[in-house]
Amino acid sequence: MEKIIEEKNQGTALTLEKDQKNTRNLYIESYGCQMNFSDSEIVASILAQEGFNTTNSLEEADLVLVNTCSIREKAEQTVRKRLEKFNAVKKTRPHIRVGVLGCMAERLKSKLLEEERIVDMVVGPDAYKDLPNLIREIDEGRNAVNVILSKDETYGDVAPVRLNSNGVTAFVSITRGCDNMCTFCVVPFTRGRERSRDPQSIVHEVNELWEKGYREVTLLGQNVDSYLWYGGGLKKDFDAASAIQKATAVNFSNLLALVAEAQPRMRIRFSTSNPQDMTLDVIETMARFKNICNYIHLPVQSGSDRILKAMNRLHTREEYFELINNIRKIIPDCAISQDIITGFPTETEEDHQDTLSLMEYVKYDFGFMFAYSERPGTLAARKLMDNIPEEAKKRRLSEVIDLQLKHSLQRTKEHLGKIEEVLIEGTSKKSELQWMGRNSQNTVVVFPKENYAVGEFVMVRIEDCTSATLMGKAVGYSENN
């Protein structure tokens, strides 16, 4: 099932067209979350100014950058294997330089250079503007490190180049960092404190994307509902802002409305929502604008109040149900997806049953499910024993996945017979003769190409489905086209 990702963490080499002026080749591989893929586009944009073209051939590379993920141990192991491979390539092509970006860079810092000696450069997620200097250092034969986290860096002034783009959908980052301190999560340590990007620069980027032919944007942040612009600076310093700054502050529902109004035909999505920060205004704004998609990724992690508390998720099971009820009342056809962790320290069979019963209540459209992986330095690692045996974690995980598969199939079946708007993203992976796109609810829809084209909004009659994909036939253009 395509949409259920269990410990799936493939690296992707990202490229774009060559600029003839540039003389060196950058091979950049990204792992982990959408934010990392979006950051790689910022990095490629900064390095294009420094004379680098992107390439997807390791053989052509002068500089290899790996944008890394630390969220689970397995993600780090995957990256380490890749670094070994790059080091092997270096033996035959000694001029190649290798750099680590992203969360592993921030977490392990100069350890990667000094103890492990597997890279030439280590650059944390807030230091990409320093890359030109750092590359000069490595060109002169020295190692280079910058892992300083920032109070205000949002890269709002860097126009990202679009790597491996389908020309139709794009990510736009709106916040960086996270202040939530979920006890299992390494992100607050690797990406620093939360800050929001200037709404004007967000709207400007969305306008430019529309001009270039893009038809869907996903506003990205670790916790988008916590977006708050009051002229720059950290979210946690908002209380000390001036009266004027407070009065003119822009929150997430204001931002959604700004973007939706600026480009009324652009589809708008966002990810990720933390239940404790999602307000009714956001749901009402979604309902008010036709171009904001009816889909919310709403990670719950566990259905047990005791475990939620131990995770420092600041809502109860009841409050989560209340939020789900409000979403269903205000946007009846809204799709909802989850993240769930099984085997968090001290999780009992009863807690696990609570997770399954919560899933039964919500009947998520799809989900991303993981076995707990202890991350060094997190509160859970410091205070709690990782005491659930691996077999129990895995067994609970497969029970959660099986139930999700059942619910996903129930949900996709609800689309049968309906005529739904689909934005065409490209050719279906399974057949050259079929288009692949998504409906508002973010479910993949495939249908015969006929004379339709990539980037068009098409009305499709849904005729068949699996638990992850809808199959249908186009019946004409959407009025949005």
Q: Is 30 in the site for ligand SAH (CB under 6 A)?
A: no
**Which range in 169-177, 182-190, 233-241, 248-256 contacts ligand SAH by CB under 6 A?**
182-190
Asked if 267 interacts with ligand SAH (CB under 6 A), we say no
Query: What are 65's strand-pairing partners?
Result: 28, 99
Contact pick of 222, 285, 302, 469 for ligand SAH (by CB under 6 A): 222
Q: In terms of CB distance, is 139 or 399 closer to ligand SAH?
A: 399
Q: Which does 317 bind (CB under 5 to 8 A by kind): ligand SAH, ligand F3S, none?
A: none
Which of ligand SAH, ligand F3S, none binds 188 (CB below 5-8 Å, type-dependent)? ligand F3S
Could you tell which of ligand F3S, ligand SAH, none binds residue 375, using a CB distance below 5 to 8 A set by kind?
ligand SAH
Determine, following the binding rule CB under 6 A, whether residue 301 of this chain makes contact with ligand SAH.
Answer: yes
The secondary structure of residue 322, as a DSSP letter, is H
Q: Are the C-beta atoms of 318 and 362 separated by less than 8 Å? A: no
Whole-angstrom distance, CA of residue 418 vs CA of residue 426 = 22
Q: 131-139 vs 34-48: helix axis angle to the nearest 10? A: 70
- Residue 437 CB, shortest distance to ligand F3S, in Å, is 29
Task: Provide the 3-class DSSP secondary structure of residue 378.
Answer: coil
To ligand F3S, the closest distance from the beta carbon of 177 in angstroms equals 9
Residue 272 or 355 with smaller CB distance to ligand SAH? 272
Q: Measured from the CB of residue 163, what is the shortest distance to ligand F3S in angstroms?
A: 23
Cis peptide before 469 (omega within 30 of 0): no
Residue among 27, 37, 229, 370 that touches ligand SAH (CB under 6 A): 370
Tokens linked to 65: 């950058």
Residue 223 binding ligand SAH, by CB under 6 A? yes
Closer by beta carbon to ligand SAH, 53 or else 223? 223
Return d(Cα 289, Cα 106) in angstroms, integer. Answer: 39
Nearer to ligand SAH, 372 or 435 (CB): 372
Nearest to 62 by CA among 76, 51, 78: 51
Please name every residue paired with 251 in a beta bridge, in sequence order, or none if there are none. Answer: 228
As measured in angstroms, the least distance from the Cβ of 184 to ligand F3S is 7
Between 42 and 224, CB nearer to ligand SAH: 224
Tell me the angle at which helices 349-362 and 317-330 cross, rounded to the nearest 10 degrees: 10
Q: Considering beta carbons, is residue 40 or 274 the nearer one to ligand F3S?
A: 274
Shortest separation between residue 15's beta carbon and ligand F3S, angstroms: 28
* 356, two tokens: 């399954």
Provide the minimum distance between the beta carbon of 103 and ligand SAH in the complex, in angstroms, as a whole number: 10
Under the binding rule (CB under 6 A), the answer on residue 37 touching ligand SAH is: no
The residue among 15 and 271 lying less far from ligand F3S, judged by its C-beta, is: 271
- Distant-in-sequence, close-in-space partners of 465: CB < 8 Å, separation ≥ 6: 409, 412, 413, 415, 416, 471
DSSP 44-59: HHHHHTTTEEE-S-GG
Choices 179-187, 250-258, 420-428, 467-475 (CB under 6 A): range interacting with ligand SAH:
179-187
Q: Which is nearer to ligand SAH, 373 or 442 (CB)?
A: 373
- Binding site residues, ligand F3S, CB under 6 A: 178, 180-182, 185, 187-188, 222-223, 274
Residue 184 C-beta: closest distance to ligand SAH, Å: 4
Residue 265: name the closest of 209, 224, 314, 223 by CA.
209
3-state helix, strand, coil in the chain (%, to 5): 35, 25, 40
Which residues are CB-contacts of 101 (< 8 A; sequence separation ≥ 6)? 39, 40, 43, 65, 66, 67, 68, 123, 124, 125, 128
Least CB distance to ligand F3S at residue 328 (A): 23
Query: Which entry of ligand SAH, ligand F3S, none binds 280, CB below 5 to 8 A by partner kind?
Result: none
Interatomic CA distance for residues 316 and 327, integer angstroms: 17
Angle at alpha carbon of residue 214, lines to 65 and 334, rounded to 5°: 100
Would you tell me which residues interact with ligand SAH (CB under 6 A)? 33, 71-72, 184-185, 187, 222-223, 272, 299, 301, 339, 341, 370, 372-373, 375
